Structure 1
Amino acid sequence: MSWQNAELPSLNQTNTSAKSGFSDFVQKPVEIYVFVDPLCPECWSLEPYIKKLSIEFGRFFTIRPIISGHLNTLNKDKFDKPKRLKDIWDKTAKRTGMSCDGDLWIDNPVSSPWIASLAIKAAELQGKKAGKLFLRKVQENLFLQKRNISDEEVLFTIANEVNLDLQEFKNDLYSASAKKAFQCDLKLTQEMEVDYIPTIVFFNQVVEEQGIKISGLYPYDIYVKVLKQMLQKDPSPGNKPELEEFMAFYGVVGNKEISVVYDWTLAQTDKEMKKLQLKQKVEKIPVKYGSFWKYIKD
């Protein structure tokens, strides 16, 4: 594999997202590597844009999350780390619209970040889809509910929520297979010279050419432009699902994610979600910044 850094205009906006599309039945021409750290608030801010990309163009690509991140930085600056991380999270939430409650680092800090990464790889041993669902739930528990995602009981609860085989997950958590998979992700991060999280790399599986690497967060149009460049064509975006169908598929979604996917203002999104709330289709989740909603299953 080879790749190149994308030549991008100077951009100040910070918008993006992450989850696989609605269909995974055929070989798709593009594979997207998404390098993330489960504790990174900017990776969480990527979610709205990957959702939209998956809905509009998911028929052309598959997503492969790579669990990386600068885990060593979390072990430095012990004295001021909690307050520093709290400030970073709160500023990121205000800037991006994706709530992440920095109070976690004061009230319930994550003690061993590597365990959460290992758990994601253990979940992936039960399938790619299981791994992606588990990663998303880890992020929800961390950023919205302020849970210590290095606590085994929290991880077991998440495994139950995404319908993993719990005993298998417990067996795999510290297994050689999970550790090897995590080491492979870290090695890939190093080999591809990923020095900033999040980073997205687009590969064309059909045409032998370089991949394109995008480090950091960019507006949605940039990701579409790169995807079309990899496809060497200009396809039209697919139809978007009805809002209730979207909620049923994803389960827990933020106003920012809905606004990005449907090209609505936050005020319009709030109005539409309140309609679903009145129909008792969703319930509002109390969070520090913005609004998040949970779909109510029949």
Structure 2
Amino acid sequence: MVLNKQRSANKQTHYMDNKPMEIYLFIDPFCAECWSLSPIINKLQIEYGDYFTLKYVLCGNLAVWNKRSGNLGKKNNTYQSQNEQRSYTPHLAAISIKAAELQGKKAGIRFIRRLQELLFVENADITDINVIQQCAKHVGLDLEEFIRDVYSQSSAKAFQCDLKISSEMEVNEMPAMVFFNENIEDEGLKITGLYSYDIYVQLLTEMLERFPKPAEKPPLELFLTNHPIMASKDLALIYDVPVQQIEKQMKKLQLQQKVQKIHAKNGSFWKYNMNCL
């Protein structure tokens, strides 16, 4: 485990909803480890969301991101036009996240989650502007406003701001989280990598300087309406039950045609049928 005290140069002085803590979550949308952290974040928000606000910060090396796109800028051995090339870049995927956030914090989080689902579950090309637009539509964004913002200076500046924060907080490995409490003079506490859920609760407790009381978990089906694509092992982590128990519950929902099982390169997942609502 890597734990570092971190200067709070970028710590915001205003806390939303008067919550005593703020957590900066540094992610790369193409990073599998960042995707693996999702169930832990979900559980933290369910149990201890009353104690902190969560700020997503994009972090990554653009040279590496653009290298991932390989020959996406080529078609039939000929180069596409400049506009076409701009429609297939990892940089565009990152900018699109900042564009989504311009429609609200919750909208931005929904967009990030869906973008990761498209990449890691549905094996979609999230560097494709068409896929990005479908993602925006899926999570209920104003599509015209979103497309305008994708190519705006506001989104570009927001992305550069994220990279600056990552640099100043010396985030060189992902996923990473920096915990800040309400005392502006105090330093933040940084953790990089993936650890057990208890470690994150321990850090939250240390920064709060008291033991937080976990909230009750919502019924499984209610949780699925907000997180419609989940793996059994992740649901088991969130609900503190054996995987076999989750599988049994999900199979009951499957018989009721409320969920379907989908198989992806990263394993099997359950997909909730939103038409049941």
TM-score scaled by length of structure 1: 0.79
> What's the offset of the Cα at 1:25?
7.6
2:20 aligns with one of 15, 29, 37: 29
The range that moved more, 191-200 or 271-280, is 271-280
Q: Does 1:179 align with 2:156?
A: yes
**Larger fraction in strand:** 2
The secondary structure found in structure 2 opposite 1:200 is strand
Q: Relative to 1, partners in 2 of residues 1:176 and 1:164: Cα closer, same or farther, differing over 3 Å?
A: same
Q: Relative to 1, partners in 2 of residues 1:175 and 1:75: Cα closer, same or farther, differing over 3 Å?
A: closer
> What's the offset of the Cα at 1:207?
5.9
Alpha-carbon distance in 1 for matches of 2:269, 2:96: 25
Q: Relative to 1, partners in 2 of residues 1:280 and 1:25: Cα closer, same or farther, differing over 3 Å?
A: farther
2:176 aligns with one of 193, 199, 205: 199
1:159 maps to a residue whose letter is A
> What's the offset of the Cα at 1:236?
2.5
Partners of 1:51 and 1:257 within 8 A in 2: no
Alpha-carbon distance in 1 for matches of 2:271, 2:90: 26
User: What residue in structure 1 maps to residue 84 of structure 2?
Assistant: none
Q: Does 1:136 align with 2:127?
A: no
Q: Relative to 1, partners in 2 of residues 1:78 and 1:152: Cα closer, same or farther, differing over 3 Å?
A: closer
Alpha-carbon distance in 2 for matches of 1:74, 1:66: 16
C-alpha distance after superposition, 1:174-219 (max 9, x if no partner): 1000000000000000010001011000011246311100011111
Alpha-carbon distance in 2 for matches of 1:192, 1:235: 26
2:235 aligns with one of 242, 258, 277: 258
User: What residue in structure 1 maps to residue 64 of structure 2?
Assistant: 73
Alpha-carbon distance in 2 for matches of 1:224, 1:243: 22
2:104 aligns with one of 117, 127, 131: 127
The range that moved more, 117-126 or 24-33, is 24-33
Q: Relative to 1, partners in 2 of residues 1:111 and 1:118: Cα closer, same or farther, differing over 3 Å?
A: same
Question: How is 1:122-271 mapped onto 2 (pairs within 5 angstroms)?
Answer: 122-206=99-183, 208-271=185-248
Q: Does 1:54 align with 2:45?
A: yes
Say which one has the larger Rg: 2
The secondary structure found in structure 1 opposite 2:126 is coil
Q: Which runs of 4+ in 1 moved over 2 A?
A: 70-79, 205-208, 264-268, 288-291
Partners of 2:16 and 2:53 within 8 A in 1: no
Q: Relative to 1, partners in 2 of residues 1:25 and 1:76: Cα closer, same or farther, differing over 3 Å?
A: closer
User: What residue in structure 1 maps to residue 35 of structure 2?
Assistant: 44
Partners of 2:120 and 2:266 within 8 A in 1: no
Structure 2, unmatched stretches of 5+, are 6-14, 72-86
Over the matched positions of the two proteins, sequence identity in percent amounts to 50
Partners of 1:67 and 1:186 within 8 A in 2: yes
Alpha-carbon distance in 2 for matches of 1:277, 1:165: 32
> What's the offset of the Cα at 1:249?
2.1
TM-score scaled by length of structure 2: 0.84
Alpha-carbon distance in 2 for matches of 1:59, 1:290: 32
Question: How is 1:67-106 mapped onto 2 (pairs within 5 angstroms)?
Answer: 67-75=58-66
The secondary structure found in structure 1 opposite 2:190 is strand
Q: Relative to 1, partners in 2 of residues 1:26 and 1:74: Cα closer, same or farther, differing over 3 Å?
A: closer
> What's the offset of the Cα at 1:266?
2.3
Structure 1, unmatched stretches of 5+, are 7-23, 82-109
The range that moved more, 194-203 or 286-295, is 286-295
2:109 maps to a residue whose letter is K
Partners of 2:179 and 2:190 within 8 A in 1: yes
Q: Relative to 1, partners in 2 of residues 1:259 and 1:290: Cα closer, same or farther, differing over 3 Å?
A: farther
Size of the alignment, in residue pairs? Answer: 250
Q: Relative to 1, partners in 2 of residues 1:78 and 1:54: Cα closer, same or farther, differing over 3 Å?
A: closer
Alpha-carbon distance in 2 for matches of 1:77, 1:260: 32
1:5 maps to a residue whose letter is N
C-alpha distance after superposition, 1:120-159 (max 9, x if no partner): 0000010011111000111011111111111111111001
Q: Does 1:276 align with 2:275?
A: no
1:216 maps to a residue whose letter is G
User: What residue in structure 2 maps to residue 114 of structure 1?
Assistant: 91
Alpha-carbon distance in 1 for matches of 2:214, 2:259: 27
